[in-house]
Amino acid sequence: MEFDALVEPLRQKSVASLAEHGFALIEGRTATVAEVADLEKQLGVTLPETYKAFMMRYGGGMVGCVELFPIVSAGSGGDDVESVNDREFPGRTFIAIAPVGTGDHWGFPVDDGHCREEVWFHFHDGGDPEFEAADVLEFIARRGLRL
């Protein structure tokens, strides 16, 4: 996979950072097939295949310079995909996958219960969403890996 080659330098830095500083640059809070299926059932949407594969292989949490909501919460009231979307987007017209830090989110527009592959920027105070990337891998490469 081409993405694996892009992320490998960050993986190596992450291992070194964990050993030296006690924190990883890639948290890797991965999800199982069953956890992803349960999330889709709870949200009532079909998530993009590329996103599901990413979350099972790499996981949520910090991925370089971007934070992805994990599929399953780490506990103690931490945000995960379901809790954020239940709170912020109960109408399921948008599925947030990452916070921007300003109350805005990156995520997937939903058409008839199916998330688009594209990642969009959603403003918390209105305004039209803006296209960000063709899929989650391009989004992570741009925002997380800064390529």
Q: What is the dihedral of CA 101, 78, 141, 7, to 10 degrees?
A: 140
Is the pLDDT assigned to residue 19 strictly greater than 60?
Answer: yes
Question: Can you give the pLDDT at residue 107?
Answer: 97
Average the pLDDT over 82-86 and give the result. Answer: 95
Q: Residue 79 is which amino acid?
A: D
Angle at 117 between CA 60 and CA 34, to 5 degrees: 50
Query: How far is the first Cα of the chain from the last one, in angstroms, to the nearest whole number?
Result: 17
What Å distances lie between residue 110 and 12, 46, 91, 94, 101, CA to CA?
A: 35, 9, 10, 5, 22
Question: Can you give the pLDDT at residue 89?
Answer: 94
Non-local (6+) Cβ contacts of 67 within 8 A are 61, 98, 99
Are the beta carbons of 140 and 66 closer than 8 angstroms?
yes
Note the pLDDT tens digit of each residue in 121-143.
999 887 789 999 999 999 988 99
Note the pLDDT tens digit of each residue in 44-83.
999 999 999 999 988 888 887 889 999 988 666 679 999 9
38-42, 53-57, 59-63, 109-113 — which is least confidently predicted? 59-63
